[in-house]
């Protein structure tokens, strides 16, 4: 089975900006896409966890993907940037529907989070992804994030999917289990991507053979973080480590409260978006704001 790696480098898990009336801020979303492409990321991932997808209607999800695709394809030179749309659900039938709509909107592939709350068996995971793959002719990135889904896609299951489901393109791994991730890296078939799902461990995972990252922090610093990842991929870890250490405070504070609360607060401070969320997400606690502001100042992201 010949697979081509979907992307190598940094994919940004895009926030979804909202207006003060709670509707999608399409102008701000277009600016974010331009900001990301101008600053060198290799992929954009709208309508994922960071994009507050679970509070978007199906029509809104499709609209966000449509905007991102159209904005990213305005210039032929930008076509290198892959658009991988979040289309996951804990209802397999709904995940199929969201995936079909995302591909119809022009996405290059879909990111499918492991079903949350249901806590499927490993066979249940396999059948979930197999059913989606049967329904669409596009790459699927598996997203394993036990901290949000309450269940883990084991290495054996991921490797089975990589072998037996032709359009499974790889995995965004956010389990934090290095032993598990190393097993996937060690045994994965050629062309299967492994991307860090946690910014702070991207450097060591690339050192172990990972292909890059699906990132939150690149919303704020796409230039610096994508450069760090490229340095890692070139084996220039001494230079990459300096950037990693410089960005680590921002990586950490981005998760001082549930994602995407801090990153949207930061982007608002940077003048990129309004600080608007949809319940049950609420604004960043005031006690964290001075520290966030200081970190942004130290990175010259705000005056």
- What's this model's pTM, rounded to 2 decimal places? 0.96
Domain range annotation of the chain: 9-236
Instruction: Please report which helix (H) or strand (E) contains residue 10, including its range.
Output: strand 9-13
Contact indicator for 19, 59 with CB cutoff of 8 Å: no
Selecting among 82, 125, 172, 277, the annotated active-site residue is 172
Alpha helices in the chain (DSSP H): 26-38, 58-72, 92-104, 122-135, 146-149, 155-164, 178-187, 202-207, 222-233, 237-253, 261-269, 289-298
**Mean pLDDT value of segment 23-46:** 98
Helix axes 26-38, 58-72, angle to 10 degrees: 40
Identify the pLDDT of residue 218.
98
Selecting among 143, 190, 234, 264, the annotated active-site residue is 143
Identify the pLDDT of residue 77.
60
Chain mean pLDDT for the chain: 97
Contact indicator for 143, 174 with CB cutoff of 8 Å: yes
Q: What percent of the chain has pLDDT over 90?
A: 96
Q: Is 129 a catalytic residue?
A: no
Identify the pLDDT of residue 76.
59
Least Cα distance to 262 among 289, 236, 228, 235 occurs for: 289
Q: How confident is the model at residue 177 (pLDDT cuts 50, 70, 90)?
A: very high
3.20.20.70, 3.90.25.10, 3.40.50.300, 3.40.640.10: which CATH number matches 9-236? 3.20.20.70
Q: Is 172 a catalytic residue?
A: yes
Q: How confident is the model at residue 78 (pLDDT cuts 50, 70, 90)?
A: low
Identify the pLDDT of residue 80.
85
**pLDDT of 1 over the 90 cut:** no
**Mean pLDDT value of segment 257-282:** 98
């Amino acid at each position: 089975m010949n697979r081509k790696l979907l992307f190598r480098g940094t994919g940004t898990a895009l926030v979804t900006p909202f207006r003060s009336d709670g509707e999608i801020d399409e102008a701000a979303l277009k600016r974010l896409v331009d900001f990301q492409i101008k600053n060198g990321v290799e992929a954009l991932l709208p309508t994922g966890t960071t994009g507050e997808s679970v509070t978007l209607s199906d029509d809104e999800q499709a609209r966000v993907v449509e905007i991102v695709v159209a904005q990213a394809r305005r210039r032929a030179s930008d076509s290198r940037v892959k658009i991988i749309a979040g289309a996951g659900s804990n209802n397999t039938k709904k995940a199929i529907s969201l995936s079909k709509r995302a591909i119809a909107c022009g996405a290059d592939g879909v990111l499918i989070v492991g079903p949350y709350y249901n806590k499927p068996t490993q066979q249940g995971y396999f059948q979930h992804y197999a059913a989606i793959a049967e329904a669409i002719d596009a790459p699927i990135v598996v997203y394993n994030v036990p901290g949000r889904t309450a269940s883990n896609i084991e290495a054996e299951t991921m490797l089975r999917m990589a072998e037996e489901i032709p359009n499974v393109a790889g995995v965004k791994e956010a389990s934090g289990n290095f032993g598990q991730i190393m097993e996937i890296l060690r045994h994965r078939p050629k062309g299967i991507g492994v991307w860090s799902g946690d910014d702070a461990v991207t450097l060591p995972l690339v050192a172990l053979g990972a292909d890059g990252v699906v990132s939150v922090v690149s919303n704020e610093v796409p230039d610096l973080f994508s450069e760090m990842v490229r340095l890692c991929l070139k084996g220039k870890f001494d230079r990459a480590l300096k950037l990693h250490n410089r960005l680590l405070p921002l990586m950490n504070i981005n998760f001082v409260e549930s994602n995407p609360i801090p990153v949207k607060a930061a982007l608002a401070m940077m003048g990129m978006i309004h600080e608007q969320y949809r319940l049950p997400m609420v604004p960043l606690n005031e006690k964290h704001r001075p520290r966030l502001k200081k970190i942004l100042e130290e990175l010259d992201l705000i005056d």
